A and B are shown apart, each in its own frame.
Chain A
C-alpha cells in the first residue's frame, strides 16, 4: 500500500489479530481489512456501520443482489480489487443461479431481469457521471422498482464508491483467487462489522 501506516502502523492488539487471521485463513490479511483497522475510530468503525446496513440490513434486495451491485459499481470504476472481491461474494450468495462475471460483460445487462437491470443501469450512470436526474429515476420506477429498492441500491452505491476510491488511492494488493475465496466466505457468513 502507498501509506506505510496502513501496512504496519496498527496497534499491538490489531497486529495480533492479523497474525491470527493469517494462521486460520492461511492467506495474507486483505488490504481492505488493514485499512479498516487502522485508527478505526476515524474511518473503519463508522464506515463499517454504513456498509453493514447497506449490504446486510433488511431490504427487498437479496444479499446476492446487493453484492452484485457492489461488484458492478466496482466494474464501472474499474477497481480490480473490488470487482474480484464482490463478484466472489455475489457468486457464492447466488449459489450458481447467476454468473456475475458473465452478466457484467454485457453492457446492456440483458441477462438480468427487471427491476434489477434498470436499477443497475441507473447506479452505473450515477457512478460514471456522478449525477442522475428525475428522468433516470422515472425509468427505474417504470421498470418496477419501488422507491425503497432504489434507496437501498443507492446505499450500496454510496458505500462502494467510497471503498473503491480508497482501494485505488492506497493501491490495494490484489490477492490470489484463494484469498478472495476466503474473504468471500467470511463476508457472507459474518458481514461487514
Chain B
C-alpha cells in the first residue's frame, strides 16, 4: 500500500531545516501561518486560506519589503505545505479516532 510518510517527513525537513535564502524562523512562521511581520502575513495567510485571492500586489508588497524572489519562493512553498500539513494531520487524527471507537 502507498505510504507517503517517509517522503513527507523528508520534504518537511528540507524546507524547514535545510539551507535556504529565507531564515529558518521565517520559513517556520510561514509554515505555521503565525508570527510573521506585516509585509508577509497577508500573503502567507492568502496562500494558506485563499490562494485564489492572491494578486500581483501581494507578491509586489513582499518584494518591496526587501525580500528577494528566492526568499518569496521559499516562504510561499512553506506556507502551502504548512496548510496542507494541518489538513492532513487533522484527517489522520480523525481517522484514528473513528477506528478507535
Stretch at the interface among A24-32, A104-112, A133-141: A133-141
Query: How far apart sit A122 and B92, CA to CA, in the bound complex (Å)?
Result: 12
- Give the residues in chain A near B77, CB-CB below 8 Å: 42-43, 166
A114 within 8 A of partner (CB): no
A169 touches B76 (CB 8 A): yes
Closest CB in chain B relative to A123 CB, distance in Å: 8
A47 proximal to B (CB < 8 A): yes
Chain A residue total in the interface (Cβ 8 A): 56
Among A12-20, A55-63, A87-95, which stretch is in contact with chain B?
A: A55-63
Q: Does B65 contact A (CB under 8 A)?
A: no
Q: Which residues between 18 and 57 of chain B lie within 8 Å of chain A, taking CB atoms?
A: 18, 20, 46-49, 51-52, 54, 56
Instruction: Tell me how many residues of B have a C-beta within 8 Å of chain A.
Output: 46
| CA gap between A171 and B54 in the complex, in Å | 9
Partner of A5, one of B11, B70, B99: B70
Alpha-carbon separation in the docked complex, A4 to B11 (Å) = 24
CB–CB B98/A141 < 8 A: yes
Q: A168 and B10: CB pair below 8 A? A: no
- Main SS class of interface, A: helix
B64 at interface by CB-CB < 8 Å: no
B7:A2 contact, CB within 8 angstroms: no
Residue among B49, B54, B69, B94 with most chain A CB within 10 A = B94
Measured between beta carbons, the chain B residues less than 8 angstroms from A154 are 88, 91-92, 95
Q: A57, B2: Cβ atoms under 8 Å? A: yes
CA distance A5 to B72 in the complex (A): 11
Cα distance A43–B20 in the bound complex, in angstroms: 11
Q: Is the CB of A53 within 8 A of B7?
A: yes
> Which of B65-96 touch A at CB < 8 Å?
69-70, 72-74, 76-77, 79-81, 83-88, 90-92, 94-95
Given contacts A42-B20, A50-B8, A53-B2, could you give 16 more A-B pairs where the C-beta distance is less than 8 Å? A6-B73, A42-B15, A43-B77, A77-B52, A132-B91, A132-B94, A134-B101, A137-B94, A137-B98, A151-B95, A152-B1, A157-B84, A157-B88, A165-B84, A169-B46, A169-B54
Can you spell out 29 A-B residue pairs with CB atoms less than 8 angstroms apart?
A3-B59, A43-B77, A46-B10, A46-B11, A53-B2, A126-B91, A132-B94, A135-B98, A137-B95, A137-B98, A138-B98, A150-B95, A151-B1, A151-B95, A154-B88, A154-B91, A154-B92, A154-B95, A155-B2, A155-B4, A157-B87, A161-B83, A161-B84, A165-B47, A165-B83, A166-B77, A166-B80, A168-B51, A169-B51
